[in-house]
Amino acid sequence: MKEKGKIYLAVPHGMCAGVRRALATADQLLEHFPKPVYALHELVHNNYIVGRLRTRGMVFVETLDEVPEGAVLLFSAHGVGAAVEQEAHRRKLRVVDATCPLVKRLQLAAARESSPGEVLILIGHRGHPEVEGVLGRADGRRVFVVGSAAEALQLPEFPGEVPVRLLAQTTLSSREVDEIAAAALSRCPQLEIGPGVCYATANRQAAVRLLAKRAPLVFVIGSPRSSNSNRLREIAAGAGARAFLIDGPDELPEPELREASVVGVTAGASAPGELVEATLKRLLDAGFGPVEPVISAEEEMTFRLPPLP
Provide the binding-site residues for ligand SF4, judged by CB under 6 A.
16-19, 77, 100, 102-103, 170-171, 198, 200-201, 228, 269
Q: Give me the sign of the Cα torsion angle 120, 126, 130, 133.
A: positive
How far is CA 143 from each of CA 91, 132, 156, 191, 265, rounded to the nearest angstrom? 29, 12, 12, 13, 38
Nearer to ligand SF4, 19 or 215 (CB): 19
Sequence-distant (6+) residues with CB within 8 A of 111 are 82, 137, 138, 139
- Give the three-state DSSP class for 94: strand
Chain center to CA of 22? 12
Answer left, alpha or beta for residue 280, where phi above 0 means left and psi between -120 and 50 means alpha: alpha
- In the complex, minimum distance from the CB of residue 21 to ligand SF4, in angstroms, rounded to a whole number: 8
| Cis preceding-peptide flag for 189 (omega within 30 of 0) | no
Nearer to ligand SF4, 18 or 306 (CB): 18
Instruction: State the minimum distance, in angstroms, from the CB of residue 22 to ligand SF4.
Output: 7
Beta carbon nearer to ligand SF4, 100 or 212: 100
User: For residues 163 and 114, is the Cβ–Cβ distance under 8 A?
Assistant: yes
Task: Give buried/exposed letters for 292-309 (b at 16+ CB in 10 A, else e).
Answer: eebebeeeebebeebeee
Q: What is the DSSP letter of 273?
A: H
Q: Which of 62, 66, 85, 130 is catalytic?
A: 130
**Minimal distance in Å, beta carbon 204 to ligand SF4?**
9
Q: How far is the CB of 171 from ligand SF4 (least distance, A)?
A: 5
Q: Is 300 a catalytic residue?
A: no
Q: Which residue is nearest to ligand SF4 (CB)?
A: 18
State in angstroms the smallest separation of the CB of 197 from ligand SF4: 8
Please say which residue, 135 or 257, places its beta carbon nearer to ligand SF4: 135
Between 270 and 279, name the residue whose CB sits nearer to ligand SF4: 270
Positions marked active-site:
130
